[in-house]
Amino acid sequence: MLIAEIIRKKRNGQTLHTDEIAKMVQGISDGGASDAQIAAFAMAVLLNGMDRNEAAALTMAMRDSGDVFDWAHLPGPVVDKHSTGGVGDNVSLMLAPIVAACGAYVPMISGRGLGHTGGTLDKMESIPGYVATPDNDLFSKVVAETGCAIIGQTTHLAPADKRFYGIRDVTATVESVPLITASILSKKLAAGLGSLVMDVKFGNGAFMADFDKARELALSITGVAQTAGLPCHALLTDMNQPLADAAGNAVEVTNAVEFLTGTRREARLTEVVIALCGEMLVTAGIENDRHRARDLALSALEDGRAAERFGKMVAALGGPADFMENHAAHLPQAALQRAVPAPDAGVVRAIETRDVGLAVVELGGGRRVSSDAVNPAVGLTALLPVGTEVAKGDPLVLVHADSEDAADQAQATLLAAYEIGAQPEAQAVLREIIE
């Protein structure tokens, strides 16, 4: 079976058989398909799509291109959550220990920052000593002993997806719904999950700004997951403003520690975290009612069990044993902080969230190209949410920068991103749940 014939068939809008998709993925894995052929295949799929069975076959073939974890020895259900990315989206850091404290196991394999969105892995690597890419034995040990581990994709986990995504990223084919679906699910299935919950973002800070497109992706992921034998629910959540009031790496870790310990919790962030935790507990079979499941999650948060789990996970993966008690002493600090003053009196009417994320990138907290080093200390805190009343000169956000020039650039970007005006209509952060 020739790779070129598989490409031609999809180029002509025909449906591919499972063995043809398996052959294509084998070529991606072992070098039998050139970069040009992989790019042509990706473009053919982008233009002509895939049906659910094709997307499921692609998912399973990429899953089987490397290691597949088996958690059968664990005494509880194995579940995870995946977000399509946003600004100030540090939900994973709180969610994994909360769900673990409720009796499930969360082997969370996360990614790095992409474009204007932050990456969970970059956030965890701001913790001194934290091993974000452990070997399989250590990963398995930490999950078994603490109930959760937040790590990065290893070279042996869905390697076909890693090569495929790298080519898609430079050939304008990332936006294909079936390819996004297969990319996400292949890694989650390789992680050996028993169930999955998706947080699909929409709005001006999401990769899919349009609600209908985000919903299309949510339906694709839940449908293909079911076809592949993985129970999956999806929540559609608003990203028309930053979710947490911090954006960056170390600053989002600080925000997460404060959330877990009860020092400070923002309402929108709490709603999303608890809703996702509840859905995970339902799909995992720990609870069959989402309202009781949310209460269970909230209890694990409020009584300190979740904070204890996070601290144990950090220590088990090489971080400081006293991290929860002394996080401020351990996390890196930027050279300077600067408040960005409101240019007028009024109400925060809207925020161009993507530009807030780009301000973090400009400060050095993200990547312009994949080879860029990330400065974990820089970022933004005290981001005022939509609907906040301000006087002229009130701080809209606090910039953490390593130079005055970087702070100047971030301030200009943020002033353009914030719209001050009349009180806007309130928008729910959780729009829909798809089972």
Residues with catalytic annotation? 80-83, 120, 168, 183, 187-188
Task: Dump the DSSP string for 115-140.
Answer: TTB--HHHHHTTSTT--SS--HHHHH
Cross-strand bridge partners of residue 250: none
Q: Do residues 273 and 267 lie in contact, with contact meaning Cβ atoms separated by under 8 Å?
A: no
Task: State the first-to-last Cα distance of the chain, in angstroms, to the nearest integer.
Answer: 38
Residue found under tokens 């058989």: 17
Distance between CA atoms of residues 130 and 125, nearest Å = 6
* Chain length of the chain: 435
Q: Measured between alpha carbons, how far is 197 from 80 in angstroms, rounded to an integer?
A: 6
Number of helical H runs and strand E runs in the chain: 17, 13
Residues ≥6 apart with Cβ < 8 Å to 303: none
Give the bridge partners for 432, in sequence order: 236
Residue (of 120, 153, 112, 116) closest to 134 by Cα position: 153
In the 8-state DSSP scheme, what is residue 364? I
List % helix, strand, coil for the chain (3-state, nearest 5).
45, 15, 35
> What's phi and psi for 207, nearest 5 deg?
-65, -35
Q: Which residues contact 322 (CB under 8 A, 6 or more apart)?
A: none
How far apart CA 211 and CA 192 sit, in angstroms, is: 30
Instruction: Determine if residue 414 is left, alpha or beta; phi over 0 gives left, psi from -120 to 50 gives alpha, anything else beta.
Output: alpha
Buried b (16+ CB within 10 A) or exposed e, 93-122: bbbbbbbbbbbbbbbbbbbbbbebbbbbbb
Q: CA-CA distances (angstroms) from residue 280 to 23, 195, 422? A: 34, 8, 38
Tokens for 192, please give them.
């050996």
